[in-house]
Amino acid sequence: MIITRRWLENFIDLTGVKDKDITIALNSLGFEVDAYKSYQELNDNLTLGYVTNVAPMPGTHLNYCFVDKGEELVSPIVTGATNVREGQYVVVADPGKTIANGTTLSVKELQGKTSEGMMVSLLEVGMSESVLTPAEIDEWIYEVHTKQEAYQLIGNSDALEVIGFKDSTWEVDLTLNRSDALGALQLVKELANYFAKTVTNLADVYTEKKSPNPVPVSFVNNKLSQKLVRSLALQQFDTKKVLTIDERTLNIYSTQDVWLKFSQAKTTDNFFLDLANAIAIETGQPVLFVDPKKLNKQLEIKDNSNETNPVNFQLMHGKDVVATLGVDFNEAFLPTVDSEQILAIYLSLDPVAMRKQQKSFNSSSVFLQRWMKPISSRLYEIAAKHTVHWLDQYDLYGASSQLEVQIPSKEVDVEIELDLVYLNQMLGIELPFKTIQELFSGLNFEVKQINPQLLSFKVDFARTDISHQAHLVEEIARLYGYNKIPSFAPEIKVLAKPKALEVVLKNQVENYLTGLGFYNVKTYALLNLQEVEKWDLFGLKDPIKLMAPLSKNREAYRLSLSRSLIEAASFNSTKGNKNLKLYEVGDVYNLNNTREKHLAMLVTGDSFSQKAYKLELKPNYAYLKGVFDEICAQYQISTNHVEINNFTNLFEEIHPYINGEIKVNNQLVGFIYKLNPRFEQAQKLDSTFVLELNLTLLEQLANLQVVVNEVSKFQKTSRDVTMLLSDKHQYNSVIKEITKGLKYLQTTSLVDIYQDEALKTQNLQAVSVNFVFNSVTTQLTDEMVSKEWEQVLQKLAKLKIEVK
């Protein structure tokens, strides 16, 4: 971002403020000045001249011109410029003058003609090539256009001052969070606040004239617009009718043309495109100007992608392209000097999508720079006021329709309460309310004191980077001045490290997994937003989205670990590493301040393989279920309290039948599932099983009390039973039900699961379970055990479960 001193003086009285003071102010405010340049002394004083006669020189590309410099006699000048013509106002370097490129002019003879000096181009006096067209660089002289009668300026000995070239510029490095300063008016507010100056913005006090003509066109609300457009407003302007006997032309004034070039806006050779760039630079809001008489149908935004441009967002009028957004404009739709109305379209677009547009065209423009950054989508009202002001400067403004907001911004005012105790702790100093209020006096913030310890801030709507207390603390430190905050060495106290049982349990689980051959991995916490929302297994919702992600694939924080683990496994598989046992422990977050620690495991390929002995173990549901049971044992959670049911929100990447939601005491703690074979194939994976657990919830449900029971000195008694269970029966639920109320039962254990063809046809399995009975106070008799065992059999009968 580049700002100039002359432009700043349109808004702030800089009397007594030197260039170095502005440099210090910008750096102090956090806007690092990458480059400062003064154009005051690059050239000797040059003269404003008027071309009275142009005569081509036969056999050459040269022209022999007479230039009026306000002297008694006109000056003969030979030039090779292709754009020279009679009636032009030009900048002349007289003999003896030295210009920025190092040339000192003298009287010369060219083709037998005397040439007294030179009509110069902007390049020759020091303008950067990057903002000039090839013709301006090689073939053109600079034509001067002024608001006042230029004829009165003929002979002015400081022509560069007349065109606004004698200026100072600051190139400011804007961090992403201060993208709002791409609307240069934000920097005006910052500097005015720093120097305790008043901002005078004529656009704010201008009285608009209401037009009876409404906005004549609307936009098609298609799916692309719903995703791409953040806000859309339109306004129609009636142009002022001017009676003149001369042919009327529209040329941007030289002072504003030079300012645009200093601001890195490349020459467009069209007045309305220059005007649009000027408004975008000042306000941060790109505006498209269209002649409404050339529209007879709705406008629509489409993605007309092709092989050359994989992303190609275009504004369409039927089959005609009005503009390739941020890249170019179809001049057939632009207003002209004869247009009776001008339609202004204020568009705010999705930054991530527009970065793709920029990459697709490998282009940079004033509009793209602002559409690619997280600037407020509520700038259309400010831009509309500045449009009126700019049109009025060129005597074009007649009246304006009401601003019609067809797609309103979804942004809302941000109000934040700040605890003074928190502020003072963070800064290490105590700031009174009055001091804090004065820091924000010129920045469109409303600061109120709710009570002696609590402040309320209503944030400037253009500042999309401030949303909570920490941001305000940083803002106060910036405005107060980092150098004013005393620094001191931190006091480090050595304290006994507290014992954290949850950490011990987590480490035990990790050691167990490592012993099973699992590898600990760290994966990307950022994913594509659609993937994040789809893989929100635990229903956390409201994912945290990056303000300006570098890629669409890394735009939001994940809400579960599973998808990242699958991504890592897929990458390894494509490199030939197909037998994987991976686990990851990581935190997941959302915008509602939810933070959970999760554990995810993935098994694919061969879980175990020993070719010499022809031993191998393929991943399966039972393997991961056994791992889960052992983890429950680490947390002292009885499997009798565990219930596993099919997914309630199944999506296509998960196997439709081999999946389960894991609940402990009716609380969702995790998921176990196989990937859909089609998804496995797409990810280049073999049969893959995944288990993900909410460790934070497991810690809350864990039985953290260690109970030491007396070891019975009496002989234990055991009984076995074989039950025929169908798919409708939950093993844990059955065991829990039939053992309820048993006084002497010590343990139950699964002995065997059997299924022959006869049982398979009935959808049954024979499940054998061992029951162990004992007491620490007495030796159990057969009668005592039989009484307990009878209760088990009766409960099985009540559940209509056949016993073999």
Q: How far apart are CA 347 and CA 234, in angstroms?
A: 9
| Residue 709 falls inside a structural domain | no
User: Quick one: pLDDT at residue 242?
Assistant: 65
Name the token pair of 75: 């000056």
CATH code at position 429: 3.30.56.10
User: Quick one: pLDDT at residue 769?
Assistant: 93
Q: Measured at the alpha carbon of residue 186, what is the angle toward residues 185 and 190, in degrees to the nearest 5?
A: 115
Q: Confidence class of residue 138 from pLDDT cuts 50, 70 and 90?
A: confident
Q: Where are the alpha helices (DSSP H) in 677-781?
A: 677-682, 695-701, 731-738, 757-761
Same domain, 685 and 538: yes
Residue 495 has pLDDT above 80, yes or no: no
| Residue 225 falls inside a structural domain | yes
Q: How far apart are CA 89 and CA 49, in angstroms?
A: 6
Same domain, 424 and 393: no
Same domain, 564 and 639: yes
Residue 659 has pLDDT above 70, yes or no: yes
Same domain, 505 and 557: yes
645-670: average pLDDT: 92
CB 238 within 8 A of CB 210: no
| Residue 307 falls inside a structural domain | yes
Domain count across the chain: 5
Q: Confidence class of residue 244 from pLDDT cuts 50, 70 and 90?
A: low
Domain that holds residue 313: 201-407
User: Quick one: pLDDT at residue 262?
Assistant: 96
Domain end point (choices 453, 481, 509): 481
User: Quick one: pLDDT at residue 158?
Assistant: 94
Percentage above 90 pLDDT, the chain: 77
| Residue 576 falls inside a structural domain | yes
Same domain, 756 and 619: no
546-562: average pLDDT: 88
Q: Which uninterrupted H or E stretch holds 789? A: helix 782-798
Residue 134 has pLDDT above 90, yes or no: no
Same domain, 249 and 277: yes
Q: What is the mean pLDDT of the chain?
A: 92
| Residue 486 falls inside a structural domain | no
Which residue shows structure tokens 């009766």? Answer: 794
pLDDT in tens, 317-327: 999 999 999 99
pLDDT in tens, 597-611: 999 999 998 877 667
CB 487 within 8 A of CB 440: no
- The CA–CA distances, whole Å, from 475 to 430, 450, 469, 480 equal 15, 20, 10, 8
pTM of the model: 0.73
Same domain, 791 and 726: yes
User: Quick one: pLDDT at residue 729?
Assistant: 85
Q: Confidence class of residue 498 from pLDDT cuts 50, 70 and 90?
A: low
Q: Could you tell me whether strands 47-56 and 63-68 are parallel, antiparallel, or unpaired per DSSP bridges? A: antiparallel
- Torsion, Cα 260 266 268 274, to 10 degrees, reads -30
Same domain, 728 and 626: no
| Residue 369 falls inside a structural domain | yes
First vs last Cα of the chain: how many Å apart?
A: 84
Domain end point (choices 674, 701, 728): 701
User: Quick one: pLDDT at residue 497?
Assistant: 67
Residue 561 has pLDDT above 70, yes or no: yes
> What size, in residues, is the chain?
804
Collapsing DSSP states into helix, strand and coil, what is residue 95?
Answer: coil
- Highest-pLDDT range among 312-321, 638-647, 701-710: 312-321
pLDDT in tens, 366-402: 999 999 999 999 999 999 999 999 999 999 999 999 9
Domain end point (choices 701, 733, 764): 701
Poorest-confidence range of 54-58, 84-88, 103-107, 134-138?
134-138
Q: How far apart are CA 671 and CA 265, in angstroms?
A: 55
Which residue shows structure tokens 């599973």? Answer: 562
User: Quick one: pLDDT at residue 335?
Assistant: 95
Same domain, 53 and 161: yes
Same domain, 518 and 548: yes
Q: In this predicted model, which residue has the larger pLDDT, 727 or 355?
A: 355
Percentage above 70 pLDDT, the chain: 98
- The CA–CA distances, whole Å, from 207 to 202, 279, 499, 527, 715 equal 10, 18, 70, 49, 101
| Residue 711 falls inside a structural domain | no
CATH code at position 125: 2.40.50.140
Same domain, 775 and 794: yes
Q: Confidence class of residue 207 from pLDDT cuts 50, 70 and 90?
A: confident
Same domain, 671 and 790: no
CB 233 within 8 A of CB 313: no
Residue 801 has pLDDT above 70, yes or no: yes
Poorest-confidence range of 91-95, 245-249, 345-349?
245-249
User: Quick one: pLDDT at residue 365?
Assistant: 94
Q: In this predicted model, which residue has the larger pLDDT, 491 or 587?
A: 587
- The CA–CA distances, whole Å, from 132 to 142, 146, 445 equal 11, 20, 40
pLDDT in tens, 689-740: 999 999 999 999 988 777 777 888 999 999 999 999 988 888 888 888 899 8
CATH code at position 585: 3.30.930.10
**Identity of residue 603:** V
| Residue 34 falls inside a structural domain | no
User: Quick one: pLDDT at residue 396?
Assistant: 93
CATH code at position 797: 3.30.70.380
